[in-house]
Amino acid sequence: MRLYVLSRRKLVISLLVLITVGGLFAVQHSLTTPSLVRAPGTYYKANTQEKVVALTFDDGPDPIDTPSVLDILKEKEVRATFFVLGEAAQSNPILLKRIVLEGHEIGNHSFKHDYQQRHLVEEMNQTDQAVFAATGTHTYFYRPPGGFVSQNQLDTIKKNGHIVALWSVDSKDWRNPGVKQIVDNVMRNVFPGAIILMHDGGYQRTQTVKALGPIIVALRDQGYRLVTLSELKTMDSEIK
């Protein structure tokens, strides 16, 4: 998510959407981030009773933090989903290859992390090309920078062959609130079918790296299985 750089107009629109959409959703689950717009047609959780969740990492790949995240996932035998930035992907093709070789999924997080997504399709395609060049696979899920997406953008993304994937549990690691707080933010809000937001790039992710192992252990202690976004989607009882 990185820093919020929003025009006043955009902020007002976002707040209005948040109040309308958030009000409805808050009945079911407490809202975990002000940037989250769970518009109809976006994918932010699986409808399932099964204790299964998906860990997602945004803003990488990062030459320092992504390998640390991958090492922990490998040691714990967890597969996750990485929403990469095209420009970071282009600079770190070997890391991208490692992500895929170790069984993880790659999602599209735009090219430059422009919150307003002024060149939405171009950036999405550029990122997809960078991922394809490094790994031979295409991206399927798209996560808009900051989680902001308008209905028009949603339609455009769909037409471009992607599904908008948001999240339902925000670790808030982007605030660097301390390792324990990151673990608590996940464990207090987790539920069957949740998509969990974390970050492996964009800024120093030392706290995320330290919190990841304890999060995996705590989730498993509660009986949760950790899967990729595509796997989670196959368990959704209301697939559209």
List residues with catalytic annotation: 58, 199
Residues in Cβ contact with 175 at an 8 Å cutoff, skipping those fewer than 6 apart? none
Q: How far apart are CA 82 and CA 109, in angstroms?
A: 9
Helix (H, G, I), strand (E, B) or coil at 141: strand
In the complex, what is the shortest distance from the CB of residue 155 to Zn ion, in angstroms, rounded to a whole number?
A: 22
In the complex, what is the shortest distance from the CB of residue 220 to Zn ion, in angstroms, rounded to a whole number?
A: 27
Q: How far apart are CA 178 and CA 62, in angstroms?
A: 20
CB of 1 or CB of 69, closer to Zn ion: 1
In the complex, what is the shortest distance from the CB of residue 2 to Zn ion, in angstroms, rounded to a whole number?
A: 6
Residue with smallest beta-carbon separation from Zn ion: 58
CB 189 within 8 A of CB 27: no
In the complex, what is the shortest distance from the CB of residue 234 to Zn ion, in angstroms, rounded to a whole number?
A: 25
CB of 111 or CB of 224, closer to Zn ion: 111
CB of 52 or CB of 163, closer to Zn ion: 163
Strands in the chain per DSSP E: 52-58, 81-84, 105-108, 141-142, 163-164, 169-170, 195-199, 225-227
Nearest to 76 by CA among 226, 196, 190, 210: 226
CB of 104 or CB of 224, closer to Zn ion: 104
Two tokens, residue 95? 């890391």
* Sites of contact with Zn ion (CB under 5 A): 1, 58-59
